[in-house]
Amino acid sequence: MTMNDFVPPTVRDVWRMALPLGTRLVAGGAGLGRPVRWARPSGHTLPLFPGLSAEELALLDLKAARVFTPSLTLTRVVSALAEIPVSALATFPPVDAGARARADEVGIPLFELPASADLARVARAVVRLISDPEAQEEARAAELLRRLTQCVAQGEGVKGVLANVVRLTGHQAELKLLDGTLFTEAPLNPGRADGHTERVEVAVHVGGRQVGTLWLVDVPERLDRFSQLVAVRGRPPWPWNWPSSKQ
């Protein structure tokens, strides 16, 4: 593949495949189709992003920046980045209403990262998705498996694991046992309710035997590679005594 053939990931791809699990889109959803060609963490002094170019993801630690520039606001940062324009901005909570309104106005996706996120590590994951998507897919699949294995280790049970699948993907999840028992979990903020839906389907096995089928259900444009990873590559390690224990 030549440089002319290179197709960078979109903001949505980066959100689903490289930003930390639990990252929330809080504004600017109209810009999810923008390409992302690099990721750049902020510094602590102005200018916050030396060398920042168009179609890059900006990663901001506003609290650290305010140590040297106490008057700096997130709304001001969003407005400045819109002039470049960047692909998206990801920062730590809380994200104030003014910044959300400005991000919606200029169409720049604004993400709220988990408080524990390491910006340098996030930037490396984004760059890896751009330069070596297969390697980042492996890393994401391993991360998903760790997260869902932790659910089981904490004794959350089948319903708990299913609820975590829904939180991670944003899709409705349906789990049907071979005896006909059906579990359904829906996201708190689903996409539009109207329109045609499709399914990602995977057989659920426990102890080497199939015990049911898992479906992720959503409108087609929201079912993506991340959906496939959760269902197939990062498939939940269902509790060993399930389905005899259907808690």
Task: Give start and end residues of each alpha helix (H) in 95-132.
Answer: 97-106, 119-131
Per-residue pLDDT tens for 26-36?
999 999 999 99
Which CATH architecture best describes the domain 3-131? 3-Layer(aba) Sandwich (3.40)
What residues have CB less than 8 Å from 94, skipping those under 6 apart?
A: 112
Q: b vs e for 111-141, b when ≥16 Cβ sit within 10 Å of the residue's Cβ?
A: bbbeeebebeebbbbbbbbbeeeeebbebbb
Per-residue pLDDT tens for 153-175?
887 777 888 888 898 899 999 99
Residue 3 has pLDDT above 90, yes or no: no
> In the prediction, which pLDDT does 1 show?
47
Helix, strand, or coil (residue 103): helix
Q: Outline which parts of the chain fall under CATH 3.40.1390.20.
A: 3-131
CATH topology for 133-233? Answer: Beta-Lactamase (3.30.450)
- CA-to-CA distance for 64 and 67, rounded, in angstroms? 6
Global pTM reads 0.88
Q: At what angle do helices 119-131 and 133-153 cross, to 10 degrees?
A: 130
Helix, strand, or coil (residue 7): coil
Residue 193 has pLDDT above 90, yes or no: no
Q: Outline which parts of the chain fall under CATH 3.30.450.
A: 133-233
Q: Output DSSP code: residue 31.
A: G
